[in-house]
Amino acid sequence: MRQQPTHTPPAGPTADTADSADTVDSADTVDAADAAVEREARPDGVYRALLRSIIAGEAAPGSRLKERELSERFEVCRIPVRQALQRLESEGFVVAEPRRGAVVRPMTRHDVEELFDARLCIEPFATRQAALRLFAGIEAADALVEILSSAQTQFAGGDEAEGISSNLRFHAEIVRLSGNSLLVRSLQPMLGRMEWIFRLTHGAREGDQAGEHRQLYDALVQGKGELAAAQAYAHIELGRAPTLAALAPYLTR
Q: What is the pLDDT of residues 76-135, one digit of tens each?
A: 999 999 999 999 998 889 998 888 889 999 889 999 999 999 999 999 999 999 999 999
Residues across the chain: 253
pLDDT band, very low/low/confident/very high, at 14 (cuts 50, 70, 90): low
Mean pLDDT along residues 15-44: 50
| Angle ∠(122,126,131) on CA atoms, nearest 5 | 155
Sheet holding 64-65, edge to edge: 64-65, 101-104, 94-97
Considering only CA atoms, which of 3, 229, 248 is closest in space to residue 131?
229
The residues facing 104 across adjacent strands are 94
Q: H helices within the chain, ranges in order?
A: 15-41, 43-55, 67-74, 78-90, 109-135, 142-156, 160-177, 181-187, 191-201, 206-221, 225-238, 240-247
CB-CB neighbours of 118 under 10 Å = 15
pLDDT band, very low/low/confident/very high, at 52 (cuts 50, 70, 90): confident
Asked if the 21-104 domain carries CATH number 2.30.30.30, the reply is no
pLDDT band, very low/low/confident/very high, at 241 (cuts 50, 70, 90): very high
Of the two residues 201 and 169, the one the predictor is more confident about is 169
Cα distance between residue 48 and residue 195, in whole Å: 11
Contact 144, 87 (CB under 8 A): no
Contact 207, 156 (CB under 8 A): no
- Mean pLDDT of all residues in the chain? 85
pLDDT value for 215: 97
Q: Which of 80-94, 150-164, 196-210, 239-253 is predicted with the least confidence, judged by mean pLDDT?
A: 196-210
The residue type at 156:
A
Domain map of the chain by residue range?
Answer: 21-104, 109-250
Mean pLDDT along residues 174-196: 94
CB-CB neighbours of 183 under 10 Å = 19
Mean pLDDT along residues 48-53: 89
Cα distance between residue 240 and residue 157, in whole Å: 27
CA 128: distance to chain centroid?
24
CB-CB neighbours of 12 under 10 Å = 7
What CATH number is given for 109-250 in this structure? Answer: 1.20.120.530
Mean pLDDT along residues 158-180: 95
Of the two residues 182 and 91, the one the predictor is more confident about is 182
Q: H helices within 160-239, ranges in order?
A: 160-177, 181-187, 191-201, 206-221, 225-238
